[in-house]
Structure 1
Amino acid sequence: MRGARRAATALAAVTALLLAGCSGGSGTADDGRVTLEFQSLAWQKESVDANKRLVAEWNRAHPDIRVEYVQGSWDSVHDQLLTAFEGGEAPDIIHDASDDLADFAYGGYLADLRDYLPARLRSDIPDRSWRTTTFGDGIYGVPFLQEPRVLIADAARLRASGVRIPTPRRPWTWGEFRRIAAELSGDGKYGVAWPLKEPVSATLNLSLSTGGTLFHRGADGRVTIRFGAADAVVPRTVHDQVNTDHSASGSTLGMGGSDTLPGFFAGKYAMVPLGFSYRQQIVQQAPEGFEWQVLPAPAGADGLAQGVSPQTLSVSEDSPHKKEAARFIDFLLQPRNTVRLALGDWMLPTGTRALKDPALRTPKNGWATGTALAAGLRPAPAQSVRGYPEWKDKVATPALQEYYSGAIGLAELRRRLVEDGNLVLARYQR
């Protein structure tokens, strides 16, 4: 669960944070001992504890290379890092997400890790995951945790309705999902709640299942936007559920995922599409006796494929201790340690050995359903697109919000995403 924000208004607060809490990267003591700064964005208690314990274990085993834990925030990480890079104050080891790396990688702020990563780590993480952190010829981050989107369902309500329960082997189609959501609606209750306060990543990532890619790279390397029939399936489903079928609540379109949980627990919504890590909140907040289950997201022409932007670990280009930083990353992502990080964040590891751990394959809390979806996870469509943050904020977010609310139609959505979107991207590709 990233929730990364890129608001320019965070700059003032971030500058204060840097002055107060960042010592300005690594250093070497007179006795030769190296000190590295590791900025972590872990925020859930279990995740923070897991990270801090691993840092402590490293420091006990490596007294000559000390790692200092620095707490960052998903809410301001992009602007905070930009300020830190430009001011020469960046931490050595940087926790972020792959869809936030492109501008930093192309801007020369991140180290190319190809000469630093051990063969074990390179081979354990699938190529499809490495593609999320590959820009040009270089690798600028190690993808280590990923989060599929799933349907969190009211198990008792689905059971009482008699609808077919989908599984990773037999998921619902998008058409079947729409029909079942309608069947589960009525008497002031809805079949589904779409929390789409930030609609872009959810729309693009789920559209991979229908063959939608939106962004197309030509032979000259330039990226343009095309909105075809495959790209329209997911947004049209959401639009029609809200405005035609009335099987989805329009009031949730402006909500974040957490905002929908009280209504879900109260029986107002039968299903909520959420990131996999929301299961932790549900375990903590669900009323006693409430039955819930994890279902796979609907499948399209490309099956259960969906886009993800994994959490990543990168090294600052300005760090004088890149080799030592890479050694710490390798330690942090040993399979047994990656499992600890995954359990703390309620997410899936990218590493194949960690993904096989029995602790991540239990039916309880839907772990087994999540791990069954891992093979279908692909790089998010906008992964390496320069200018994506601006396109997302200025073009795609308002256009999708208006379309989902019924304020504009599909033709106008297409025009704005394509025509206005290509004008934005062109500025980054001159």
Structure 2
Amino acid sequence: MRTRWILALVMGLLLTACSSDDGSSDGRITLRFQSLAWQEESVDANKELVEEWNALHPDVKVEYVQGSWDSVHDQLLTSFEGGEAPDIIHDASDDLADFAYGGYLAELGELLPERLKSDIPQRSWETATFGDGIYGVPFLQEPRVLIANAKWLKESGVRIPTPEKPWTWEEFRSIVKELSGEGKYGVAWPLKEPVSATLNLSLSTGGQMFHRGEDGKVTVRFDAADEVVPRTVHDEVNTDGSASSTTLGMGGSDTLPGFFGGKYAMVPLGFSYRQQIVQQAPKGFDWQVLPAPAGADGLTQGVSPQTLSVAEDSPHKKEAAEFIDFLLRPENMVRLALGDWMLPTGTEALKDPALHTTKDDWATGTALAAQLRSAPAQSVRGYPEWKDKVATPAFQEYYSGAIDLDELRKRLVEDGNLVLARYQR
């Protein structure tokens, strides 16, 4: 009798465990949505949209889970391997390659509605395409722009660039030099993490860095088009003295006190940094957003959009995709973009008047959206190791003047190809 009672208890517990894996005992489904939103406005927008979904879908509850950009890659890898990954995953497209190729993410081609697939341009979908599949929905992006001291530029009399008539890289270097002197600098380059900034801006000059052969293998080249941006930075720091050498090891936020204090005329930053500037700038400080310099390919620039993916192990992929579709309706995508001070990828969302205002220079950033392309390293296997072990120290030494352009090329190409070759056997 006691044996039968124990067996019944065990079976009951097993049934309970099974039902909790596939939803609640009353048939309701629970989806876990891990968000990396961190700014107050962005967190609020995400949580509000989750609440709205839950109110409209009583049988499919979404549970908001707070993640962190600082640890997301390792945290996701651990959760994938442990079978505890969230159903819906917020990440960035340049972090998806290993997860997509590793079989941890669901292929979304058949799960997403035509409305969403047609609303986001193909150039954006390419950022989350690996092999023949789509493994994330790109929804927020930001160009790198020049944040400028408007009063300083106006008093100098230099030509103010616009998206229609930007500076060339040569003109930019000349103007930066003109704005410098008496302990002040025309530009401060925050290049603590120099690789993505360099590669993404180099698309404007036709730089590619990574080249895929007919055999599908990727190799590194450092051609004339790849040299323009790094040489400009190097020469501003080491030849012209028009860029501060001390900011090379800084993150973007670290340069803002000096910018507000009148030490730098301009700082190249991501578009979303405007929020920090609005919050931190001294009263009366006059600033403006300028497009980054243009090269042979105009204002083309590489980006790694924020993405939403579905875990391959999720038992509710269809419902997870439906939630993503809800979250990225045009009006909701605008709310997320405003909360993060970034640009939406959706063409309908980009038409919203709130993204075309002169206040906080939204219009300048929105005008650049059509020029944004997939970052050069987006689908390169082994890129994280190449970046950390080869490219980052090489660019840092070159920008500081410790090595010359030939040595930079040698390291990026010879050492870099040795790294990539291990991932392509």
1:92 aligns with 2:51: no
Q: Whole-Å Cα distance in 2 between the matches of residues 27 and 326 of structure 1?
A: 16
Q: Whole-Å Cα distance in 2 between the matches of residues 78 and 387 of structure 1?
A: 15
Query: Is the CA contact (8 Å cut-off) linking 1:153 and 1:270 kept in structure 2?
Result: yes
Q: Whole-Å Cα distance in 1 between the matches of residues 338 and 93 of structure 2?
A: 20
- Alignment-mate amino acid for residue 327 of structure 1: E
SS of the equivalent of 1:404 reads: helix
The correspondence for 1:129, drawn from 101, 104, 124, is 124
Q: Whole-Å Cα distance in 2 between the matches of residues 290 and 59 of structure 1?
A: 43
Query: What is the aligned partner in structure 2 of residue 288 from structure 1?
Result: 283
Query: Is the CA contact (8 Å cut-off) linking 1:403 and 1:410 kept in structure 2?
Result: yes
1:35 aligns with 2:30: yes
Query: What is the aligned partner in structure 1 of residue 63 from structure 2?
Result: 68
Q: Whole-Å Cα distance in 2 between the matches of residues 129 and 151 of structure 1?
A: 23
Query: What is the aligned partner in structure 1 of residue 76 from structure 2?
Result: 81
Deviation at 1:100, TM superposition (A): 0.3
1:309 aligns with 2:299: no
Q: Whole-Å Cα distance in 2 between the matches of residues 127 and 271 of structure 1?
A: 33
TM-score by length of 1: 0.94
1:154 aligns with 2:141: no
1:386 aligns with 2:384: no
Q: Whole-Å Cα distance in 2 between the matches of residues 415 and 63 of structure 1?
A: 59
Q: Whole-Å Cα distance in 1 between the matches of residues 281 and 130 of structure 2?
A: 42
- Alignment-mate amino acid for residue 227 of structure 2: A
Query: What is the aligned partner in structure 2 of residue 333 from structure 1?
Result: 328
Deviation at 1:27, TM superposition (A): 3.9
Query: What is the aligned partner in structure 2 of residue 262 from structure 1?
Result: 257
How many residue pairs are counted as aligned between the two chains? 406
SS of the equivalent of 1:258 reads: helix
Query: Is the CA contact (8 Å cut-off) linking 1:150 and 1:273 kept in structure 2?
Result: yes
Q: 1:26 to 1:114 in 2, by over 3 A?
A: farther
Query: What is the aligned partner in structure 1 of residue 371 from structure 2?
Result: 376
Deviation at 1:26, TM superposition (A): 6.2
Q: Whole-Å Cα distance in 2 between the matches of residues 178 and 191 of structure 1?
A: 9
Query: Is the CA contact (8 Å cut-off) linking 1:26 and 1:35 kept in structure 2?
Result: no
SS of the equivalent of 2:47 reads: helix
SS of the equivalent of 1:209 reads: helix
- Alignment-mate amino acid for residue 375 of structure 1: A
SS of the equivalent of 2:163 reads: coil
SS of the equivalent of 2:249 reads: coil
1:212 aligns with 2:192: no
TM-score by length of 2: 0.95
Q: Whole-Å Cα distance in 2 between the matches of residues 156 and 211 of structure 1?
A: 33
What is the CA RMSD across the aligned residues, in angstroms? 0.7
Deviation at 1:366, TM superposition (A): 1.0
Give the percent of matched residue pairs that are identical in Structure 1 and Structure 2: 83
1:197 aligns with 2:160: no
SS of the equivalent of 1:28 reads: coil
Greater Cα radius of gyration, structure 1 or 2: 2
Query: What is the aligned partner in structure 2 of residue 15 from structure 1?
Result: none
- Alignment-mate amino acid for residue 130 of structure 1: W
What does the per-residue CA deviation read over 1:128-186, in whole Å, with 9 as the maximum and x for residues that have no partner?
00000111111000000001000000000000000000000000000000000000000
What does the per-residue CA deviation read over 1:53-89, in whole Å, with 9 as the maximum and x for residues that have no partner?
0000000110100000000000010111001101111
1:411 aligns with 2:381: no
Matches within 5 A, 1:225-240: 225-240=220-235
Query: Is the CA contact (8 Å cut-off) linking 1:223 and 1:425 kept in structure 2?
Result: yes
SS of the equivalent of 2:71 reads: helix
Q: Whole-Å Cα distance in 2 between the matches of residues 27 and 93 of structure 1?
A: 15
Q: 1:26 to 1:122 in 2, by over 3 A?
A: farther
SS of the equivalent of 1:163 reads: coil
Q: Whole-Å Cα distance in 1 between the matches of residues 109 and 159 of structure 2?
A: 47
SS of the equivalent of 1:327 reads: helix
Query: Is the CA contact (8 Å cut-off) linking 1:27 and 1:36 kept in structure 2?
Result: no
- Alignment-mate amino acid for residue 398 of structure 1: P
- Identify unmatched segments of 5+ residues in structure 1: 1-24
Query: What is the aligned partner in structure 2 of residue 249 from structure 1?
Result: 244
What does the per-residue CA deviation read over 1:288-321, in whole Å, with 9 as the maximum and x for residues that have no partner?
0000000000000000000000000000000000
Query: What is the aligned partner in structure 2 of residue 53 from structure 1?
Result: 48
Q: Whole-Å Cα distance in 2 between the matches of residues 27 and 171 of structure 1?
A: 54
SS of the equivalent of 2:262 reads: coil
Q: Whole-Å Cα distance in 1 between the matches of residues 232 and 82 of structure 2?
A: 46
What does the per-residue CA deviation read over 1:86-136, in whole Å, with 9 as the maximum and x for residues that have no partner?
111100000000000000000000000011000000000000000001111
SS of the equivalent of 1:191 reads: strand
1:106 aligns with 2:125: no
- Alignment-mate amino acid for residue 334 of structure 2: V
SS of the equivalent of 2:414 reads: helix
- Alignment-mate amino acid for residue 396 of structure 1: A
Q: Whole-Å Cα distance in 2 between the matches of residues 79 and 329 of structure 1?
A: 23
- Alignment-mate amino acid for residue 77 of structure 1: V
Q: Whole-Å Cα distance in 1 between the matches of residues 76 and 153 of structure 2?
A: 45
SS of the equivalent of 1:237 reads: helix
